[in-house]
Amino acid sequence: TVTALNDADRAYELDRAHVFHSWSAQATLDPMVITKAEGSHVWDAEGNRLLDFTSQLVYTNLGHQHPRIVSAIQDQAATLCTVAPQFANGTRSEAARLIASHTPGDLNRVFFTNGGADANEHAIRMARLHTGKHKVLSTYRSYHGGTHLAVNVTGDPRRWPSDNGSDGTVHFFGPFLYRSPFHATTEAEECQRALEHLEQVITLEGASTIAAVVLEPIPGTAGVMIPPAGYLEGVRDLCDRHGIVFIADEVMAGFGRSGKWFALEHADVVPDLLTFAKGVNSGYVPLGGVAINEAIYDTFTDRPYPGGLTYSGHPLACAAAVATIRAMEDDRIVEHAADLGDTVLGPGLCELADKHDWIGEVRGTGAFWAIEFVADQETREPLAPYGGSSPEMAAILAACKRRGLLPFVNFNRIHIVPPLTTTVQEARQGLAILDKALTEARVSAQ
């Protein structure tokens, strides 16, 4: 309608006049206006419907406007909008119980934060106080958040401008066979060499100085690299042998994205601390947290934990978490995500890889996939440089959008990360659009 169009124009104008956007040179931006969203779809300013294969920033795990989450937030707002963290509240207690019922092992205590970065900040603070040590080891090709310590722990170009090279952060290489830092040719070799490398880093940095190893059990934004069998078990063993806290960052991979409640379950490993956000409540209200094991909890039974947030365990966010987790259980969403990966996304992406020579590799699990684009399949030269873009990647994105698909693009990769509620038909439709868009972009590049 005319009014809707005018509203969209006004939204755009005011955005450009007053909204300061994340990670961007402000003058170069041309943000798409989203006027409406439902399930796996969003609508743009012109009324075009697009399949959302991004889950926004990989967080609307139950899709847009899920009726159970919307009504839980509405009911909570009508009853009790907010309660400060020092009080007990039924909604928060139930959210913590439900989260603890799904986290592995003895991770039964939950400290709530506002998102993923502050969850990692607090997990590291807990690890430092628990061990009395300071350094934190994390991988290159990782993302842990935008706040001071979280961005320093991060291993991607977003760290560079804020890197103060201190605060005890040290990076190491995780396994990534397609671009192996260890010149490995098999998964088993990659696993063994990656563990030997980590052990050397621990030895040379000094085990007596290292509080924690932080890693994403499946690195997300960095490229959905599924670790080889045995790697996470090996990290667990190294941490045990050297008195190091193992922090698993499940902010993106957790809550069903990988086809398990937590990505660690693919390896049957229990970390000491597990951080979460995003999918815990489909991102309808900001929420994150740290699940804490008994040993670290015991450190703070008599000694105060020196940290807190005004909105820790906000009832509106917790109401959304309760509704999300119950809907996931009732509707067998995690099983559906696993099935989508096994029967549609995995095979469909392999077919695309056979057909399009720009595709170097596809990898993933559940509703968590990456397509690695290369200029040359032999040399594996990326189709866009690390940390940058290219006309070819821009052309693929534009062709997808024109045809009604919103993909998640990062450097030379497209991530296929739709809501876990995406139907088989929608998933097939998205892959068919991508197929046509790749042909179109390739022809236009010649």
- The footprint of ligand PLP (CB under 6 A) covers 57, 115-117, 120, 143-145, 216, 220-221, 249, 251-252, 277, 288
Cα torsion 142, 96, 284, 50: sign: positive
**Residue 80 Cβ, how far from ligand PLP at the closest point, in Å?**
25
| Helical residues (DSSP H) of 365-423, grouped into ranges | 391-402
What is the distance of C-alpha 19 from the center of its chain?
24
Residue 136 or 395 having the CB closest to ligand PLP: 136
Closest to ligand PLP by CB, 42 vs 251, is 251
Least separation, in Å, of the C-beta of 117 and ligand PLP? 3
Tokens representing residue 259 in the block = 């086809």
Listed residue (355, 299, 344, 15) closest to 131, CA to CA: 299
Q: How far is CA 378 from CA 37, 345, 364, in A?
A: 41, 25, 22
Distance CA 442, CA 356 (A): 9
Dig out the tokens for 182 from the structure.
Answer: 């260890």
Least distance to ligand PLP from the beta carbon of 278, Å? 7
Closest approach, Cβ 409 to ligand PLP, in A, equals 15
Residue the block writes with tokens 């103060």: 164
User: In the bound complex, what is the minimum distance in angstroms from residue 372's beta carbon to ligand PLP?
Assistant: 18
Q: Which is nearer to ligand PLP, 39 or 116 (CB)?
A: 116
Taking the complex as a whole, the smallest distance from the CB of residue 144 to ligand PLP amounts, in Å, to 5
Residue 99: helix, strand or coil by DSSP?
Answer: helix
The residue (of 368 and 373) whose beta carbon lies closer to ligand PLP is 368
Give the DSSP letter string of 165-193.
Answer: S-TTEEEEPPP-GGG-TT---SHHHHHHH
Using the minimum distance from each CB to ligand PLP, give the nearer residue, 22 or 86. 22
Nearer to ligand PLP, 144 or 413 (CB): 144
